[in-house]
Structure 1
């Protein structure tokens, strides 16, 4: 188990970055958990003030489609750590990781049906199988493949734009979106069977977009994580200051420019939605990289922030699922049924409050446990045995 000691400092920074990503994902997802209109791609008609629109624009520009890419990058990076660990310990990696992605698929499917049809764990499970196939890929090839995937996705959206100009949906609007939103609100505010029925209906539609667009985008981000993991680039960040600085300059210039084009396409219609999404596919990874580079460069100067964020990052799967559960209890018929009754600004405040609670809870939980509750289950499925307790872990390491 000596390898765990070697990787501890690096994993600490990665956990902190994962914790930051978890916060960004919550701030974005809460709008879709709280509103049938947002799920239909529309603004909630009850909230039309300047503050409401300002929050929508800021969240869309700076957060949307950025932090799930960071999370995907970390999934790919962690894949290399697990692969290296299996090799060092002489374990068969493929069956072990297949059990892991099988567990993710099961957990994600339950999550999508019961709590949030926008679940991404099922996507990670499928992408995980692709990573197994590509596990021997070289870092340079992984980066090239990621770039090609992103370019092909953007080209596909441009072609959809051309097709729309030749015929259907030239304005790039969602047909029947308002009717869909009203129906969704009614179902989400109803009983458990109505909520689950609505989730199943939405999940089937979302999966089409996942297969065509988000899945390949997640794979591209994972491949960048695989390349970084294989190069060991996060082991000594001080040796890569110049690279991190370049990522910041490129990401904050091109990334922010692309983010505003995308946001303009979402909320004003001045840019066709397919063109806006094509621009976002290319530039969102750059902005996500700039966020990561800035955070990692600042982390040594912010040890307290690093400790705060590392704990929820260590049990990110449990916290991700808990976020959906808490929001469901607030916004659907499972609890208060406040669907489409909370303004965008209050949604953000709720998200910040939920995350603050998760930071405190994660620190408390990890005092007596090595893993989060859902992480424990996933680890059991992965290794097909009970994970070690903190006491067993300390006893084993004190004997080394």
Structure 2
């Protein structure tokens, strides 16, 4: 699944996984951007369908796809370093410029569109990962496991203390606060910006709290890239099936416990206990998802082509999702904040993602990069890259799989 003709080690499998991860991230971010009741598993007057939909997202999606996105970020760092070495350029200044650009994009994204942005955190942790890239594989994996266990222990301790020492808090106690939040998001541009700025501080605090989990996924991706895991195992169907089935029971069991704590029937005091369970067992379901997705879409065909194209334009699609959601739910556009149930929201997300699949497939036939990827690559390399796609000769086109053609001439994105 190597992309030919570009002198790099980019693999179509990575773009397929990135494209799939974007859909999971969309489902979670859409809930957070559509209303204020995510922590309660839906509004107090939510329908049964909405509550079931929110519970399923909490169990099967939340905290399952950001780790995959983070894993791919760590994997891409190795590919970028190898590419810089082959081209004779120093990697350190390139990586620094890349992280600065990511941070700037994330800051604009957080203030204008979605305070829960992850790019700023990725940029900072990308610098940390650069300092750790010399660790031996076994040491890096031990550090990753230690980070996950430490975060889980912290969340579990605080969660159990909360359960033992506090009374249940119902959604009704938050009604005055929720009314102010809803009014701000439905207001004019200045009101929306004010709401984003108010939400930015707790959002950054949450990113800081969960930074060990992100860094652990970065390190896992780093080790996987060094061992060329995607190239060796990306099309090994026996290994993929065995690995998916091995980790699936643990991942599903943890998902059920986590969802019961965060989306009901347990009350909100159990939220941090559920988060601890998600941090500890979520990676198992993430691994099962990744292997299962490669089994389904890792070969040739229209689905693989569309997913690889969407993943290749991952940064552009990630930002575009936030833009569309902001236009739908805030005063920037329709102002539907707290007016759409979870079930119809998920249907809307599926429609938006289908549009992104179709547009991405068409764009990569004409352009090597999306707008955000072009900007990031320009800053990283210090020059303007050629944006138009190279046209392969008929002979070479027949020899390349559709998924590989979809990723030709590109570079990894976070």
Deviation, 1:47, is 4.7
Residue 197 (structure 2) pairs with residue 200 (structure 1):
yes
Q: Which residue of 1 aligns with 2:227?
A: 231
Residue 244 (structure 2) pairs with residue 248 (structure 1):
yes
CA distance in 2, matches of 1:220, 1:154: 12
Residue correspondence of structure 1 range 80-91 to structure 2 within 5 A: 80-91=78-89
TM-score (norm 2): 0.88
Residue correspondence of structure 1 range 1-400 to structure 2 within 5 A: 5=5, 11-38=11-38, 41-45=39-43, 47-165=45-163, 167=165, 169=166, 171=168, 177-212=174-209, 214-237=210-233, 243-268=239-264, 270=266, 272-300=270-298, 303-390=301-388
Q: Which residue of 1 aligns with 2:399?
A: none
CA distance in 2, matches of 1:125, 1:191: 31
Q: Is the 8 A contact 1:10 1:235 kept in 2?
A: no
Q: Is the 8 A contact 1:189 1:333 kept in 2?
A: yes
CA distance in 1, matches of 2:324, 2:372: 16
**What are the Cα deviations for residues 298-328 of structure 1, in whole angstroms up to 9, with x where unaligned?**
3345622110111111111011111011011
CA distance in 1, matches of 2:355, 2:187: 28
Query: Cα gap change, 1:391/1:291 in structure 2, threshold over 3 Å: closer, same or farther?
Result: closer
Q: Aligned to 1:36, what secondary structure does the other structure show? A: coil
Q: Aligned to 2:229, what secondary structure does the other structure show? A: coil
Q: Is the 8 A contact 1:118 1:206 kept in 2?
A: yes
Q: Is the 8 A contact 1:150 1:281 kept in 2?
A: yes
CA distance in 1, matches of 2:163, 2:20: 40
Deviation, 1:270, is 2.7
Superposition CA RMSD, Å: 2.5
Q: Aligned to 1:335, what secondary structure does the other structure show? A: coil
**What are the Cα deviations for residues 208-246 of structure 1, in whole angstroms up to 9, with x where unaligned?**
12112x211111111111110000011132685565344
Aligned residues: 391
CA distance in 2, matches of 1:391, 1:117: 34
Q: Is the 8 A contact 1:30 1:327 kept in 2?
A: yes
* Bigger Cα displacement from structure 2, 230-239 vs 54-63: 230-239
CA distance in 2, matches of 1:354, 1:260: 28
Deviation, 1:292, is 0.2
Unpaired segments of 5 or more residues in structure 2?
397-414
Deviation, 1:176, is 5.4
Unpaired segments of 5 or more residues in structure 1?
none
* Bigger Cα displacement from structure 2, 345-354 vs 383-392: 383-392
